[in-house]
Amino acid sequence: MNRIFHAGLVAVAVCLVLLRVNAYAFDSGTLRDAVMMEEKRLGARIGVAVLDTSDGSGFEYKGSERFPINSTHKAFLCGALLQQVDSRILSLADTAVIHEGDLVTYSPVTEKYLAPRAIAYSELCKAAVSYSDNTAANVVVDRIGGVAAFNRFMQSLGDSVTRMDRKEPEINEGIPGDLRDTTTPSAAAASLHAMLFGKVLSEDSAELLAEWMKGDAVANALLRKSLPTGWSIADKTGAGGNGSRSIIAVVYPPAKSPWIVSIYIAETKATMAERNESIARLGQVLFPVMQ
């Protein structure tokens, strides 16, 4: 077992344990009631994990249940690319040429960069993370070595739970009970913590990834809607079939340590707007805990 993998494994294992052991470090009953209320309101299954980076205290509700990973995988995907950049295997200045046949649904950035025009991988990751561009994500997957390379990166974070089996748009199918392309709220939160605050990425790469997430242009209706004035957030959202909706985030209260949040919704007939409102309401309950 190499040093990076071992360090990541220990970090994620510690986070997962702390999420359970310290689940009552604050009023988890209120949080649990809020999530259960949203489940009833949407007729959905909802999983939540929250982690205070200052002391490891946390909360989870259905934190070990599997949910469709949706586009939240794009943050981890670009973390995988940045790890290879740190190892000097790849460069963010490398470019790709995208042909019309490469385009998949929802590609607002890459559809403007068709051959013979080239686009740098730095811009592809920004497109994937900040704009949830699906073609950009697929090009990055191919560049790092395919879905197997993505899964190896997750393992380097100590995450043996999260898995990617398909690319966009099939990754978003979200069939109930299907293990493919899934994660758990606790695994996603722990892996986000390990990726941005651990030693798997260089400080510069972790900061760049966080900046892409802070620039998320498609997340205003979720946690950002209820974010208190003066706070900041770095997030990545996702959506897919069978009512799946998701977000992973780092929340930065003023003069406080950051908090990690992951929320996954599945198996509901609620509209996208209703799912977004549900996540925003959960933010209204979560944010006071972080003050």
Q: What is the pLDDT of residues 228-242, one digit of tens each?
A: 999 999 999 999 999
- Amino acid (1-letter code) at residue 205: S
The domain spans of the chain are 28-289
Provide the pLDDT confidence category of residue 56 given band limits of 50, 70 and 90.
Answer: confident
pLDDT of residue 6 exceeding 60, the answer is: no
**Spatial separation of the C-alpha atoms in residues 156 and 213, rounded to whole Å:** 21
pLDDT tens sequence across 33-46: 999 999 999 999 99
What does the pLDDT read at residue 26?
58
What does the pLDDT read at residue 4?
43
Q: CA nearest 166: which of 147, 151, 179? A: 147
User: Could you say which of 28, 57, 71, 191 is catalytic?
Assistant: 71
Q: CA nearest 38: which of 272, 288, 265, 244? A: 265
Asked if 253 and 290 touch (Cβ cutoff 8 Å), the reply is: yes
pLDDT tens sequence across 74-90: 999 999 999 999 999 99
Active site residue 278: no
pLDDT tens sequence across 100-136: 999 999 999 999 999 999 999 999 999 999 999 999 9
**Spatial separation of the C-alpha atoms in residues 29 and 133, rounded to whole Å:** 38
The fold of the 28-289 domain, in CATH, is Beta-lactamase (3.40.710)
Sign of CA dihedral 12, 188, 162, 107: negative
pLDDT of residue 177 exceeding 50, the answer is: yes
pLDDT tens sequence across 247-272: 999 999 999 999 999 999 999 999 99
- Evaluate if pTM is beyond 0.85: yes
End-to-end CA separation in angstroms for the chain:
40
What does the pLDDT read at residue 28?
83
